Amino acid sequence: MTRSSGGDDAPTQSAWKALAGAAYRPYWLDDPGRPGPRPALVGEERCDLLVVGGGYSGLWTALIAKERDPDREVVLVEGQEIGWAASGRNGGFCAASLTHGLGNGAARWPDELAELERLGHRNLDAIESAVERYGIDCDFERTGEIDVATEPYQVAELREVARLAVELGVGEQEFLDRDAVRAEVDSPTFLAGLWDRRGVAMLHPAKLAWGLARACAQLGVRIYEHTPAERLVSTGAGMAVRTPYGRVRARQVALATNAFPSLVRRVRPYIAPVYDHALMTEPLDQERLDAIGWRGRQGLSDTANHFHYFRLTADRRILWGGYDIIYRYGGRVRAEYDHHPATYRTLAQHFFRCFPQLEGVGFSHAWGGAIDTCSRFSAFFGSAHGGRVVYALGYTGLGVGATRFGAEVMLDLLAGERTERTRLEMVRSKPLPFPPEPVRWAGIGITQWSMTRADENGGRRNLWLKAMDKVGLGFDS
């Protein structure tokens, strides 16, 4: 197991106590409105398009496929239940960025960055429009996000991102000094902030997934749950996917399996599944909310390498996640890895360091899940089996919004169309693959250690990180 090593003091008694009543399950999925399970596939199905995966990536692909061609027969199979994996476990930040932030985009696709930002904001607009059009009740709030500096060197970094945003003419990126950021949300750790007012929305992630599934079904998509796809083979002019109790024959297949092993084996080295964790507080009364002054409902994230993300829910809880990045040897994805008590203790300690005004608040939920990390931190795309199979992978923690863009790319590729999306270098290129084990495990461990040292030393990157930057082999969550 590889994880971050922040060198924190032992958790305080208040942190231990705050975790005492936490349920070890995702808050978003622990909802009375959770729909009942759909039946598994038994026997044989035939369709024009088979979508494998019932998270955002697969749901958007199925929905847009039917919007583009209502007569197309679409089947979607999901190994567990709709939204069970990353789509029901994330922080509920829906970002316009397709490149994991301006900085990463500028480093990798400087000539395309303005176009990628335009497409990203258009994609977020389209998500908002779909939520309204299909009546999806998912607490969608386009309140934006504030990136906060908690170390002096990060203040200069935020100023540089603000300058770059002005240069590109993308969105509203407002720099906030110490007093201004603490007027929005009051933490003694905040030194500055950068407020992206329109480029990020907050939402209830599981309700979005459930709503998308309902919209798909209304358009005629046939959805099967508890139907893992076990094998993909060519059958004449089409494809066949075997499942435990049956088989689907399809003209085309879209793979939306993300952190789970791809049915196209050659793609697997590009993904390193890592585990991210989060806590959810009990509901806060007005006095508690007033103590931190969080009235604008923006999402927040600090800007360290091992960063935290945090936001208010519709029922006035604070979600607090991130920091640790846990990689399991061999890239295994298993349900027992979803929980990591040591990380929960670290997160609780950090929460009360950020908000000492909330001493005594308890956490109601603690959970984790796998993220499909790739070495460039943003999605990559491709096809197999003569163009009859496509995939989109590697969203690296920013898939709530970008998966809709990825769905459009996959459908463009299946159609053989040259579009404004498929012309992009970002779409036509691949990240560097991760090396095989044990080199992968050792390299990730060294990178994590180096990132922690950079956080502790004014952001200064050591020779290892500089070398990784030079070859384009990054690691993030």
pLDDT band at 171 (very low <50, low <70, confident <90, very high): low
What 8-state DSSP symbol labels residue 83?
T
Q: What would the pLDDT profile of 107-144 be if each residue is shown by its tens digit?
A: 999 999 999 999 999 999 999 999 999 999 999 999 99
**In this structure, what are the phi and psi dihedrals at residue 87, rounded to the nearest 5 degrees?**
-65, -20
State the pLDDT at residue 7.
44
Neighbours of 299 (CB within 10 A): 24
**In this predicted model, what pLDDT tens digit does every residue of 405-452 receive, in sequence order?**
999 999 999 999 899 999 999 999 999 999 999 999 998 888 888 888
- When mean pLDDT is compared across 21-25, 87-91, 333-337, 411-415, the lowest value belongs to 333-337
When pLDDT is cut at 50, 70 and 90, the band that residue 5 belongs to is very low
C-alpha span between 41 and 222 (Å, rounded): 10
Q: What is the pLDDT of residue 1?
A: 60
Question: What is the band of 477 on the pLDDT scale with cuts at 50, 70, 90?
Answer: low
Q: How far apart are CA 125 and CA 411, in angstroms?
A: 19
Summarize pLDDT for 234-262 with one digit per residue, the tens. Answer: 998 899 999 999 999 999 999 999 999 99
Question: Which position has the higher pLDDT, 474 or 286?
Answer: 286
Q: Annotate 437-468 with b (16+ C-beta within 10 A) or e (fewer).
A: eeebbebbebbbebbbbbbeeebebeeebeeb
- Residue 433: its pLDDT value, please? 95
State the pLDDT confidence band at 6, using cuts at 50, 70 and 90. Answer: very low
pLDDT (average), residues 217-221: 98
Listed in sequence order, the residues at least 6 apart from 42 whose beta carbon sits closer than 8 Å to its beta carbon are: 245, 246
What's 12's DSSP letter? P
Predicted confidence at residue 168, as pLDDT, reads 80
Residue 450 has a pLDDT of 86
Q: What is the pLDDT of residue 142?
A: 96
Q: Encoding tokens for residue 477?
A: 């969550």
Secondary-structure breakdown of the chain: helix, strand, coil percentages, each rounded to the nearest 5: 35, 25, 40
Cα 315 to Cα 446: distance, rounded to the nearest angstrom: 40
Q: What H or E segment, with its residue span, contains residue 232?
A: strand 231-235
Two tokens at 324?
A: 């640790």
Distance CA(66)–CA(351), nearest Å, equals 44
User: Could you give the CA distance from residue 344 to residue 324 in angstroms, rounded to a whole number?
Assistant: 10
More confident residue, 114 or 169: 114
Indicate yes or no: pTM above 0.85. yes
For residue 428 the two structure tokens come to 């036509």
Q: What is the pLDDT of residue 2?
A: 56
Q: Does 170 or 194 have the greater pLDDT score?
A: 194
**Which carries the bigger pLDDT value, residue 52 or residue 305?**
52
Specify the 3-state DSSP secondary structure of 426: helix
pLDDT more than 70, % of the chain:
96
Helices first, then strands: H and E counts in the chain: 13, 19
Query: Exposed, middle or buried: residue 270 (CB in 10 Å: 0-12, 13-18, 19+)?
Result: buried
Residues 293, 290: Cα–Cα separation, whole Å: 5
Nearest 5°: CA angle at 78, between 227 and 64? Answer: 140
Average pLDDT, the chain: 93
Distance CA 59, CA 51 (A): 8
| Least confident stretch, 220-229, 337-346, 439-448 | 439-448
User: Is it the case that residue 285 has pLDDT exceeding 50?
Assistant: yes
Q: Is the pLDDT of residue 473 over 80?
A: no
